[in-house]
Every structure is written in C-alpha cells, then in structure tokens.
Amino acid sequence: MGERLASLVSGEGTTMERVVIACQSGEVPMDVACVVASSPEIGGVRRARELGVPLYIVNPRNFLDSSGETDQELFGLALLKVLEDCGATVVTQNGWMPKTPDVV
C-alpha cells in the first residue's frame, strides 16, 4: 500500500484541487484518502465534491468549551479519528486556518 494523502482546507481549496489532480493523474504517487474541511460553507467543499474524493467536515466551532473557545483536545481527537479512519499516511494543510491540535 502506498502513501494516502489527506488535505485539510479552510478556504477556496485551489491548492488542494491542484494537489488532488496531481495525485489523480499520477504526477504525485499518492492515493487521495480524503479532504477535511473546517466548515461546510467553504469553496473547498465544492471542489472536493467535484473531484470525487471523500469529504469530511470537522468544524472547530462544534467543539467549544464552557468559555466559548475551541476545546483543542476534543477537536483534535475528532480530526485524528477521520484521518485514521481514512487511512491517511500524509497530511497537508492547504489553507487550513484552525490551530492544529497537538494530538494530530
């Protein structure tokens, strides 16, 4: 089994799109495991769907603590579960804006 790429996106997804196309064409010798978006409303979601790759939304706003801040541990564990379930061996941050939790 070769490397499996996961791309984390928070914006329009233009870089992720180029990376995925390079993988799909064989220019980059990796399978695309998934795209993880930090919000369902970003352009990267549309691009991932158009490319036909598995897409997951892991929104840090869904993991707020009692003070209204992102609970980094819970957010990180949710993100890590998606990456593990997809079999990702390589993770890229293509415009990923949230602080990546230490557990990841």
pLDDT tens, position by position, 32-85: 999 999 999 999 999 999 999 999 999 999 999 999 999 999 999 999 999 999
pLDDT tens, position by position, 23-41: 999 999 999 999 999 999 9
Per the confidence metrics, is the pTM higher than 0.75? yes
- Give every CB contact of residue 80 below 8 A, 6+ residues apart in sequence: 103, 104
> Which long-range contacts link 61-68 to residues 24+ away (Cβ below 8 Å)?
none
Q: Are 94 and 15 in contact (CB under 8 A)?
A: yes
pLDDT at 1 over 80: no
